Structure 1
Amino acid sequence: MSQHTALRTFRRTLRTTHRSFQPTRCISQTSPTLAPPPVDPPMAENPLDSLMSSIDSNFRRASNDYFSNMIPGQTTPLRNLTIRDWDEDDRHKLHIFAHKHNTHLTLSKPNRDALISVSCGNIGFRKAGRGTYDAGYQLAAFLMNRIQDKGLLPQIKKLELIYRGFGPGREAVTKAILGSEGKKVRPLIVRLSDSTRLKFGGVRSKKPRRLG
């Protein structure tokens, strides 16, 4: 009985092996000719890039045409429109520094060299009197006379007033220039500017003084 079982098992194994075994076929005889891999077409130019480049070129051309037509007789586009005041500055400067304790006046050349520098202490005021309105007015009148005495008036072609601070002397010097004391200096003034210091943030302010 065991021999018949072993024989049937052997035959079944041979059938399974025969079914699974198949001769290999030559690829060159059965498979068709392989086509070369497709080549990707060249990428087309991005329309957005071409649009931006055309806009940029049109903008440059329009800007050059606009600025070149601003000045009569200008045919070439302008490269630099920045005005350099320090290269063409021919104005004398009168610096008016007025704070609550004193007033300082400084007349300088166009290259910032000082010609006259005076304060209320130079004309006889002391201590709290230096910060008064009258001291500032007399200081401005003294400066006008000093300019004439030193012969500086003929060489001053243009004069710029530069204010700094909001003390009583600020208004006093302005009144003196507009009065009879400044009648010879007033026609030379071509510009007014304010260089008062402004604090953005910074350290804590000093505690205000309280009396009583």
Structure 2
Amino acid sequence: MNSQIMNRLSTALPSVCQRCQIRLAPSQLLRPFSSTRQINAQPNSKSRDKGQALEKQILDTGNSQPSEANSPLSKITQLMQGEKTGTSQPVSRDYFRMAESLEAEMIKHPYADRAPPHHLHVYAHKHNTLLTLTRPNGNPLLSLGCGNLGFRKAGRSGYDPAYQLASHVFGQIQERGLLLDIKRLELVYRGFGPGREAFTKVLLGNEGRYIRGLVSRVTDSTRIKFGGTRSRKVRRLG
């Protein structure tokens, strides 16, 4: 009943009702659901300085980049990063030219960055087997065949003479101390006689345990004829 009367009075006499209304403070208007007072504490000057210093340190460490002098990255990596970010120096513009020239040089001289290998030539003929160890420049160090082990004529061909020859050659390489000079070894096969498989068997066996760790490349230099002279007729018995 009273509320209805007050509503009617407010519509009829707004000036009178405004005087009767309770006036609220601006702080109470901003925070209608809290009766506690706002206390704006002034921070200590020392703590404020420490906070600013810590914030500056964090920002500096986040934005700073390692200098070129103290950077653990290599020069090539720095150049590549500069190329990606677009902040490369004039030196990095010739990087790809340098890489292409280096690749071409490595193709021409594949052993330029390391010692060239020694060569062990395995000539497996159908009538004999010859093993020759050479220096990187081609000068022979050791050359033996099945005839040096006492095999004669037709006895030089076969699996067993080649097996004994390979074992003997590996023993000679160790006795003469050639393993100290050989850093890398390249095997060069030629021919498809029975000595080819016999040499491979010895190399992978107990006799070649000190040699096979030095092998860096295996090549095949078997002669292939394209045209040329007429081959000999096939031998037929009976």
Does the residue aligned with 1:209 lie in a helix, a strand or coil? coil
Offset at residue 204 of structure 1 (A): 0.8
Does the residue aligned with 2:178 lie in a helix, a strand or coil? coil
Amino acid at match of 1:93: H
Offset at residue 125 of structure 1 (A): 0.7
Segments of 5+ residues of structure 2 without an aligned counterpart are: 1-78, 84-91
Larger helix proportion of the pair: 2
Distance 2:170 2:156 in 1: 19
TM-score by length of 1: 0.63
Amino acid at match of 2:149: I
Q: 1:154 to 1:79 in 2, by over 3 A?
A: closer
Equivalent position to 2:186, from 154, 160, 163: 160
- Which residue does 1:36 correspond to in 2? none
1:1-47 CA distance string (max 9 Å, x none): xxxxxxxxxxxxxxxxxxxxxxxxxxxxxxxxxxxxxxxxxxxxxxx
Equivalent position to 1:120, from 134, 143, 146: 146
Distance 2:111 2:205 in 1: 33
- Which residue does 1:75 correspond to in 2? 95
Offset at residue 170 of structure 1 (A): 0.3
Q: Relative contact order, CA 8 A, sep 6+: which one is greater?
A: 1
Amino acid at match of 2:226: F
Segments of 5+ residues of structure 1 without an aligned counterpart are: 1-67
Equivalent position to 1:146, from 172, 195, 198: 172
Q: Does 1:137 align with 2:163?
A: yes
Offset at residue 193 of structure 1 (A): 0.2
1:68-123 CA distance string (max 9 Å, x none): 97xx9762513471512476361000000001000000000111110000000001
TM-score by length of 2: 0.56
Amino acid at match of 2:125: H
Q: 1:205 to 1:179 in 2, by over 3 A?
A: same
- Which residue does 2:108 correspond to in 1? 84
Identity among equivalent positions (%) equals 54
Distance 1:140 1:210 in 2: 32
